[in-house]
Amino acid sequence: MKSHVRLSYSSQGLQPPVFVVTSLSEPQWEPVEMQYSKTEDGQYHFSKDFDADEGTHQYKYRLGPGEWWALDESEQTGKSA
């Protein structure tokens, strides 16, 4: 069964474009540009929706067209055995 998943990212001073690279996309691991909105204080908030199968999925964010990468520090990045 598929579930709706929204990946979101924001950072002080960050400008579009922001991409997400994830196992959720089709094809997997291809950069997908995120939608964005601007808050009242002028900051950008980025998000992208996916339909996901149950299980563990991985993702990271690419900031702009270059090779600047970011992780969501609030999420688990790995499991210890």
Contact by Cβ (8 Å): 48, 20: yes
Token pair for 27: 């094809």
The predicted pLDDT at position 2 comes to 86
The predicted pLDDT at position 76 comes to 58
Summarize pLDDT for 3-57 with one digit per residue, the tens: 999 999 999 999 999 999 999 999 999 999 999 999 999 999 999 999 988 888 8
Strand partners, 36: 46
Three-class DSSP labels, the chain: CEEEEEEEECCCCCCCCEEEEECCCCCCCCCEECEEEECCCCCEEEEEEEEEECCCCCEEEEECCCCCEECCCCCCCCCCC
Token pair for 22: 């994830």
Q: Where are the domains of the chain?
A: 2-70
Fold of domain 2-70: Immunoglobulin-like (2.60.40)
**pTM for this entry:** 0.84
